[in-house]
Structures are given as structure tokens and as C-alpha cells.
Structure 1
Amino acid sequence: MAEERQGWLKCLLGGAVFVVCMAGTTLPTPLYPLYQEKFGFSELTVTVVYAVYAFGVIAVLLLAGDASDTIGRRPTLWWGLGFAAASAVCFLSADSLGWLYAGRLLSGLSAGLFTGAASAYVMELAPPGGSSGATLVATAANMGGLGCGPLLAGLLAEYAPEPLLLPFAVHLVLVALSAAVLVFLPETVPERRPPTAVRPRKPALPPQVRAVFGPAAVASFVGFALFGVFTSVSPAFLGRYLHVDNHAVVGLVVALAFFASTGGQVAAGRLGTARSLPLGCAVLFAGLLLLGCALVTDLLAFVILAALVGGTGQGLAFRAALAAVAAASPPDRRAAVISALFLVAYTGISIPVIGVGLLADPLGLEGAGLVFIACMLVLVATAAGYLLRRMTPAER
């Protein structure tokens, strides 16, 4: 019993480190209007600054997606925390647009190292028989951390001095504390190799994973695309069309999507993977429709509903996707396979976001958003139809 409690304590501490890292990746979200005012850049630039983060994630997943399988979980996470600290320093030093690009790129490198490694690490720290709960801790830490970032930054920007400095100073302290926590957590990779053994690999999946990876990847792509667009352009939409200029409110609205995702993940644990994936797609479909209503009517209520419903759908689909691919993966390839899933997910964050930025000038922010929604509706409907065809009558 004592060993089981210690296992869960280690699992939760690993999840807390995961939260700190991911919070740093969304910390600038409610601050983009302030940066636009300071540096005078366009909506396209906002989306590019946001997407640079995703490019950093994708680069790490392609070049070192199996790093933690090779050198160990803890060394990989220390590197990730180092990049997170460097990102915070860039934002603290930001006196030009170049610092924002550098900060977002370093943040992406940090998240790229953390996503697969921390997810696998949290699952491995859990006591025997706790795989379901550990999966929830890992996915909730990921999405919960993403939600804490804009909430923390919004509160500090609205109610504390130095809105463009204090959030990153606080995060730098949290990163240092997280590095200290890692010192006391055990390594879970029994046979480690030197860093020179890490090699770039083309995305490849073990044969036993391929059957579940396709639908899991599509659902992850759509869910992360919705989050990407919501996170990057909602502050401008709330300020320009809804006249919401309170940074704490903006941060809260964005955070609601990520917190709702955590709720969806809890529900997915009760429904099971087979039901959660298609149901998650259906709820994502509803969330996209609500976001379209928000763009057409300019009503804050629809924005909040879109965050809650879309986030819930993303959580349902993503936890089921992560659990399915992790269960199907051999232990020595688990982190690499999880990294491949995140590679697809972060492609969803980058390409659609930049597309919205490109269309925002000729079509306006609302028109660009409606084009994005139409494309995502087609994708998510196709994925849901495919998943329903694969379900057995009993699962239906």
C-alpha cells in the first residue's frame, strides 16, 4: 500500500513538472494584443509568431522523437526545462519582434521534448495496474498546463505591474522548481545510451500500431487545430469585435477550452477508447458550429460555449487517441510512437493557424475563421464516419 502511494506521488510530481512546461507555451496568449500595440504588427504576424512554436515542436519530434527512449526520461526533461527557461528569458528581453520569434521557437523545442517523454514518464512512474489513471494524469497535465498559461498571464497582466515581464519571471521561477523536483524522481528507462545515439528518424510506426493510429491522428489533428486557431486569434477577436479588453477575461476564455479538455478526458476514461473517439469527433463538430455562430453573431456567450464544447470534444478524442496508441506500442518504442501522434497534432496547430492569418487580410478575421471551420467540419465528419463504421454493434 505504501509503495502504491509512493508510486502515485511520483506520478503526480511528474505531472506537475509537465504542467509547468506546458503552461509556458501558452503564457503569451492574452498578451498578443499588447505586443501588437508595442511593435505594430498585423494579424498574420500574430499567427506566424504563434505557429513558430509548432515548428519547433515538429522539428524536435522529427529529429529527436525517440530521445527519451535513448538517453532516458529525466535527461530529456531537463533539456526541455532548459529550453523553457531560455524562452522565458527571450520574452523578458523582448524589445523587437525577433525576440518573440526566438522565444516561441525555444518554447516549441521545450514542448517537443516534453510531449512524448513526459507522457511516457508519467505513465511509467505510476504503480502497477495504474495505467488508466496515469494516462489521465499525463493528458490532463498536458491540457491543464496549456490552460494555466493564459489564465496566469491574463491575471498578472490585468492586476499586477509589468504585464509583459512579470508572467515570464514567475514562469522562470516555476521552471527552476520543476528542475529541482526532477532530481528526486527516478529514471524509468533501464538501458540508456549516450546522446550521440539519438538519430533523426522518418515517421514510422510498428505494424501493431498502424490500425489504431490513423483515426487517432485525424481526431488529434482537428482538436489541436481548433485549439490553435482559438488560442492565436481569439484575443484579437474578443477585443476588436466584442470589445473585451480585460486581459484576465481573455485569458480565462482561452483557458476554459483547455480545462474543458481535461473534463473530456475524465469522461473518456469512463466511456472507453472505442466510444470516446467517435463521440469526441461529434462533440468537436458541435464546438466548431458554435464557434461559427460566435463569428457570425459576435456574441460572447457563443465564444464561451465553443470553448467548453470544443474543448470537451478535444479531450474525449485526444485521451482515447493517446491511450489507444500507447497500449498498442511496444515498450521500447512507446515514446517515439506518442511523439508521432503529437507530430500530427502539432501540424494541426501550425498549418491551419497560418492559413487563417493569410486569409484574415482579404476576408477579415471572421471570414477567415468561417473558412477554417468549414474545412475542419469536413475533416471531423469524415473521421467520425470512419470510426463509426469500425465500431461493433455492441460498441454502438
Structure 2
Amino acid sequence: MDGDRQGWLQCLLAGAVFVVCMAGTTLPTPLYPLYQEKFGFSELTVTVVYAVYAFGVIGVLLLAGNASDTVGRRPTLLCGLGFAAASAVCFLTADSLGWLYAGRLLSGLSAGLFTGAATAYVMELAPPGGGSRATLVATAANMGGLGCGPLLAGLLAEYAPDPLVLPFAVHLGLVVAGFVVLLRLPETVRDRRGPGAVRPQLPALPAQVRAVFVPAAIASFVGFALFGVFTSVSPAFLARYLHVDNHAVSGLVVALAFFASTAGQLAVDRVGVPRSLPLGCAVLLTGLVLLAAALYTDLLVLVVLAAVVGGVGQGLAFRAALSAVAGAAPADRRAAVISTLFVVAYTGISIPVIGVGLLADPLGLEGAGLVFIACMLVLVVPAAVYLIRRPVAARRP
């Protein structure tokens, strides 16, 4: 019993460090309007600053996706916390736009190292037989951490002094605490090799995976694109069109999307993978329609509903997509196939978001948002119809 208690304590501590790292990646979200006032840049620049994060994640996935399997979980996570600390320092000292780009890139490198390694670490630290509960801890830590970032920054920016300093100072303190925690946790990888064993992990798509992969990738792309738009331009939309200048409210709206995604991911266990992927696409479709209605009517309640419904759809679709693709992939290519899905998903956070930024000047944020939604509907509707007619098989990796 004492061993189980210690195992769960270690699992939860690793999950807490996971929360700290992921919170840092979304911390600047409600602060972008303040940076626009300070540095005088456009909506396009906001979206590019945001998207730089995704390029960092993709770079790590492709170049060092197997790092924690070779050098160990703790060294990889300590390196990820180092990037998170460096990102916080960039934002703390930012006196020009270049510091924001650097901070977002470092944040992406941190998340790229953490996402896979921390998930595996949390599950490996759990006592025997606790795999299901450990998966819950890892899922909640990942998406919950992403939700905590804008919530924390919004509250501090609205109700505490130095809105562009204090959130990152607090996060830097939490990162330091994370270092201390990690140094006290055990390593779980026994057969460790040197950094020279880390190899680039090129995308792979074996023939037997393609029928499952295409609709799964489309759903993942659309879900992450929806999150990208919410976390990059929704604070500006709330302030400009709905006259919501409260940073805490802006942070809460974004946080709701991530918390709803956590709920959607957890629901996959009850709904099952074969039904969760088409259902996730349908819920994503509903979230996009609600977002379009919010842009057209300028109603805050519709923005909140779009965040919650879209978040649930993203969570359902992405976890089911990951399970379906992993189940269809051959064992010796599974890691590469999963990395390919993540690359597609994080491309959704970058390219469409920059597209919204490009259209914001000629069309305004509302018009650019409606064009984005139309493009996403063109992608997700055929995927949903295909999955309803040919649901994926439930196969375990």
C-alpha cells in the first residue's frame, strides 16, 4: 500500500510539472492586445507571433521526437523546463517584437519536448494496474495546463500590477519549483543512451493506415486550427467588437475551450473510439457554426458556447484520432505515424491562424473569421460524412 501511495504521489507531482510547462505556452494569450498597444503591431503580427510556437513544436517532433526514449525522461523534461524558463525571461525583458518571437519559439521547443515525454513519464510512475487513472492524470495535466495559462495571466493582468511582467515572473517561479520536483523524482527509462542516439523522426504513412489517417488528420487539423484562432485573436475580438476589456474574462473564455477539450478526451472512454471520431467531427461542426453566429451577432454568450462546444469536439476528435491511427499503424512504424498526426495537428495551429491575420486588414476580424470558418467547414463536413458511413475500427496498439 505504501508503494502504491508513493507511486501515485510521484505520478501527481510529474503531472503538476506537466501543468506548469503547458501553462507557459498559453500564458501570453490575453496579453496580446497589451503588446499591440505597446509595440504598435497589426493582427497579422499577432497571429505570426502565436504561430511561431507551432513551428517550434513541429521542429522538435521531427528532429528529436525520440529524445526521452534514448536519453531518459528526466533529462528531456529538464531541458524542456530550461526552454520554458528561457521563454519566460524573453517575455520579462521584451522591449521589442523580436523578444516575443524568441519567447514563443522557445515555448514551442519546451512543449515539443514535454508533450510526449511527460505523458509517458506520468504513466510510468503510476503503480502497477493504474494505467487508466494515469492516462487521466496526463490528459488533465496537458489540456488543463493549457487552460490554466490564459486564466492565470488574465487574472494577474486585470487585478495585479505590471500585467506584462508579473504573469511571467510567477511562471518563472513555478518553473524553478518544477526543476526541484523533477530532480527528486526517479528516472523510468532503464536502457538509456547518449544524446548521439537521438535521431530525426521523419513522417511516415504506411498504406494500411491511410484510410484511417486522412479523416483523423482532417479532424485533428480543424480542431487545432479552431484552438489556434481562439488563443490568438479572440482577446482582440472580445475587446474590439464586444467591448470586453477585462483581461480575466478574455483569459477565461480561452481557458474554457481547453477545459472542455479535457472533458471531451475523457468522454472517449465512455463513447468508444469508433463513435468518438465521427461524433467529435459533428461537435466540432457545431462549434464552428456557433463561432460564425458569434462573429455575425457580436454576442458574448455565443462566443462562450463556441469555446465550450468546439473544445469538447476537439477533445473527442483528437483523442479518438490518436487511438485510431495508433491502432491501425504497424508496431515498428507506430511512433513515426503518430508523429505525422501531431505534425498535421500543429500545422493547423499555424497556417490557418496566419491566414486569419492576413485577411484581418482587408476584411476585419469578423470577416476573416467567417472566411476561416467556411474553409474549416469545407474540410470537416466531408470527413464527418465519411466517418459516419465508414466508422473506424476499434483496435488497440
Normalising by structure 2, we get a TM-score of 0.93
Kept in 1, the 8 Å contact 2:224–2:345? The answer is yes
Are 2:86 and 1:99 aligned?
no
- Please name the residue that 1:317 is paired with: 317
Are 2:239 and 1:239 aligned?
yes
> Hey, what's the Cα distance between the residues in 1 that align with 2:142 and 2:184?
21
Identity of aligned residues (%): 83
> Hey, what's the Cα distance between the residues in 2 that align with 1:10 and 1:325?
30
- Please name the residue that 2:361 is paired with: 361
- Please name the residue that 2:122 is paired with: 122
What's the offset of the Cα at 1:211? 5.9
What's the offset of the Cα at 1:359? 0.8
CA RMSD in angstroms, aligned pairs only: 2.2
- Please name the residue that 1:280 is paired with: 280
Kept in 1, the 8 Å contact 2:278–2:391? The answer is no
> Hey, what's the Cα distance between the residues in 2 that align with 1:392 and 1:365?
37
> Hey, what's the Cα distance between the residues in 1 that align with 2:80 and 2:169?
18
What's the offset of the Cα at 1:118? 1.5
User: Structure 1's 364 and 15: CA in aligned 2 closer, same or farther, altered over 3 A?
Assistant: same
> Hey, what's the Cα distance between the residues in 2 that align with 1:278 and 1:78?
38
Kept in 2, the 8 Å contact 1:136–1:265? The answer is no
> Hey, what's the Cα distance between the residues in 2 that align with 1:334 and 1:5?
33
Per-residue CA distance 1:325-368 (angstroms, 9 max, x = gap): 45667888766554433222111100000000011111111111
What is the aligned length? Answer: 394
Range that drifts further, 214-223 or 23-32? 214-223
Kept in 1, the 8 Å contact 2:202–2:336? The answer is no
Q: Secondary structure at the match of 1:304?
A: helix
- Please name the residue that 1:190 is paired with: 190
- Please name the residue that 1:145 is paired with: 145
- Please name the residue that 1:254 is paired with: 254
5+ residue gaps, structure 2, are: none
Q: Secondary structure at the match of 1:313?
A: helix
What's the offset of the Cα at 1:18? 1.2
- Please name the residue that 1:75 is paired with: 75
Q: Residue type matched to 2:114 in 1?
A: F
What's the offset of the Cα at 1:267? 1.6
What's the offset of the Cα at 1:218? 2.3
> Hey, what's the Cα distance between the residues in 1 that align with 2:127 and 2:325?
20
What's the offset of the Cα at 1:314? 0.9
What's the offset of the Cα at 1:309? 0.5
What's the offset of the Cα at 1:137? 2.2
Range that drifts further, 177-186 or 363-372? 177-186
- Please name the residue that 1:6 is paired with: 6
- Please name the residue that 2:344 is paired with: 344
What's the offset of the Cα at 1:219? 1.9
> Hey, what's the Cα distance between the residues in 2 that align with 1:342 and 1:20?
21
> Hey, what's the Cα distance between the residues in 2 that align with 1:54 and 1:374?
23
> Hey, what's the Cα distance between the residues in 1 that align with 2:209 and 2:13?
29
Kept in 2, the 8 Å contact 1:69–1:335? The answer is no
Task: Report 1:13-24 matches (<5 A).
Answer: 13-24=13-24
> Hey, what's the Cα distance between the residues in 2 that align with 1:273 and 1:72?
31
User: Structure 1's 116 and 206: CA in aligned 2 closer, same or farther, altered over 3 A?
Assistant: farther
> Hey, what's the Cα distance between the residues in 2 that align with 1:209 and 1:66?
21
User: Structure 1's 330 and 111: CA in aligned 2 closer, same or farther, altered over 3 A?
Assistant: farther
5+ residue gaps, structure 1, are: none
User: Structure 1's 14 and 390: CA in aligned 2 closer, same or farther, altered over 3 A?
Assistant: farther
> Hey, what's the Cα distance between the residues in 1 that align with 2:210 and 2:63?
21
